[in-house]
C-alpha cells in the first residue's frame, strides 16, 4: 500500500533541491543494493526537527550505512555528535567513509552490535533518539529509550505505518510490534506524539 499518493510523492520529490554529492551517492548506493533508507523527504524532516530544538547529541538505534545520520549531522553542526548503532561492521565502515568524505567524521561515532545493547554502553541524556530497528523490538526500544531522552527532546521513529500492514487481520511479529509501539506513544503521559504519513510513516514524540 502506498501511504502517500504517488503523484504527491513525485511532486514533493521534484520540489526539493538536489542533495550534495555524498548524499546523492548514498541514495544511489541504496537504490542499487535495494537497501532501505528514509529518503530525502524524511531526511529533510529530520534535519528540520533536530535544528528546531538545537539538538547537539543524537542517538540512532539502527543506522545502516548512515543516511539518516548524515542529515542529523548536517543539522547539529561541528560541535554536535551523532552516535550510530548497527550490528554489521561493513555498514559501519561504509558510513564512516561517507562521513570522512563529507568532512563530518568528527560528528559521528559508530557502535557495532545490537542497538539496544549498544545504547546501554552510552551515558547521559540525548536531545534526539531515532528508532529504525527490527519492528518487533519497537515497544522495548520505547521503554528503554524514554529515560535517556531529555525533557523537550524528540523520539522519532520510522516505518510506523509499515506499508499498510498495520491493517493486517493476522499481524506478524514486526507488525504487532509497530501496532503496540503506536499505542504506547499515543497513550503515554510522558510524551506528546504526532504521526506524519510521509513515505512509510514517521512518528514524532516530544518528551513533556
Q: How many residues make up the chain in this entry?
A: 208
Which CATH superfamily groups domain 6-207?
Vaccinia Virus protein VP39 (3.40.50.150)
Placement of cell 545490537 in the chain: 114
pLDDT at 30: 97
Residue that has been written with the C-alpha cell 503506536 in this structure: 182
Compute the distance between CA of residue 181 and CA of residue 176 in angstroms, rounded to an integer: 8
Q: Are strands 149-158 and 202-207 parallel, antiparallel or unpaired?
A: antiparallel
| pLDDT on residue 18 | 95
Residue 171: the pLDDT is: 97
pLDDT of residue 147: 98
CB 194 within 8 A of CB 177: no
pTM higher than 0.95: yes
- pLDDT by residue, tens only, the chain of 208 residues: 889 899 999 999 999 999 999 999 999 999 999 999 999 999 999 999 999 999 999 999 999 999 999 999 999 999 999 999 999 999 999 999 999 999 999 999 999 999 999 999 999 999 999 999 999 999 999 999 999 999 999 999 999 999 999 999 999 999 999 999 999 999 999 999 999 999 999 999 999 9
d(CA 135, CA 129): 16
Crossing angle for the helix pair 39-52 and 21-32, nearest 10 degrees? Answer: 130
pLDDT number for residue 1 = 85
The pLDDT assigned to 2 comes to 87
59 in Cβ contact with 128 (< 8 Å): yes
Amino acid at each position: 500500500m502506498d501511504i502517500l499518493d504517488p503523484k504527491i510523492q513525485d511532486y514533493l520529490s521534484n520540489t526539493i533541491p538536489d542533495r550534495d554529492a555524498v548524499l546523492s551517492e548514498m541514495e544511489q548506493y541504496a537504490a542499487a543494493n535495494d537497501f532501505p533508507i528514509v529518503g530525502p523527504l524524511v531526511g529533510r524532516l529530520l534535519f528540520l526537527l533536530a535544528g528546531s530544538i538545537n539538538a547537539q547529541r543524537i542517538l540512532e538505534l539502527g543506522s545502516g550505512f548512515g543516511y539518516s545520520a548524515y542529515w542529523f549531522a548536517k543539522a547539529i553542526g561541528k560541535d554536535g555528535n551523532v552516535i550510530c548503532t548497527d550490528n554489521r561492521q561493513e555498514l559501519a565502515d561504509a558510513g564512516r567513509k561517507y562521513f570522512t568524505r563529507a568532512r563530518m567524521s568528527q560528528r559521528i561515532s559508530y557502535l557495532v552490535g545490537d542497538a539496544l545493547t549498544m545504547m546501554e554502553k552510552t551515558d547521559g541524556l540525548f536531545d534526539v533518539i531515532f528508532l529504525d530497528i527490527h519492528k518487533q523490538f519497537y515497544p522495548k526500544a520505547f521503554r528503554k529509550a524514554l529515560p535517556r531522552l531529555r525533557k523537550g527532546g524528540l523520539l522519532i521513529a520510522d516505518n510506523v505505518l509499515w506499508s499498510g500492514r498495520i491493517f493486517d487481520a493476522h499481524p506478524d511479529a514486526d507488525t504487532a510490534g509497530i501496532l503496540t509501539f503506536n499505542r504506547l506513544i499515543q497513550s503515554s503521559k510522558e510524551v506528546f506524539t504526532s504521526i506524519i504519513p510521509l513515505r512509510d510513516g514517521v512518528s514524532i514524540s516530544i518528551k513533556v
